[in-house]
Amino acid sequence: QKEVEQDPGPLSVPEGAIVSLNCTYSNSAFQYFMWYRQYSRKGPELLMYTYSSGNKEDGRFTAQVDKSSKYISLFIRDSQPSDSATYLCAMSGRQGAQKLVFGQGTRLTINP
């Protein structure tokens, strides 16, 4: 079993829909949680960065972390065709444990 599980999709939704992307993990030591967006032939671009449990909102994006369930989510409101990309969740442990552990990535397409 992988440390971080993410449904690879692909996921296709109409423009304007609310998108929900999720990851589960098994390592209770993870404290920092991130969502990256990756366009084709580009590197991962940091979207959201949260520490421990709770919600964080940035414009149309909301990240949620539920450490008790070992479950994180990214919500995209009013989705746009420009949101079409692969979304990667990533996490790391306490300070000093620097490596990021990534999910497989979910390929998302927003249809106009």
Partner 1 sequence: GAGVSQSPRYKVTKRGQDVALRCDPISGHVSLYWYRQALGQGPEFLTYFNYEAQQDKSGLPNDRFSAERPEGSISTLTIQRTEQRDSAMYRCASSATGGDQPQHFGDGTRLSIL
Contact residues for partner 1, defined by CB under 8 A: 4, 6, 8, 32, 34, 36, 41-46, 49, 51, 88, 90, 94-96, 98-105
Q: Are strands 106-111 and 11-14 parallel, antiparallel or unpaired?
A: parallel
Question: d(Cα 110, Cα 39) in Å, to the nearest integer?
Answer: 13
**Residue closer to partner 1, measured from CB, 32 or 75:** 32
Report the residue number, 16 or 71, with the smaller CB distance to partner 1: 71
Kindly give, in sequence order, each residue whose CB lies less than 8 Å from that of residue 45, ignoring residues fewer than 6 positions away.
36, 37, 38, 39
Nearer Cβ to partner 1, position 17 or 62? 62
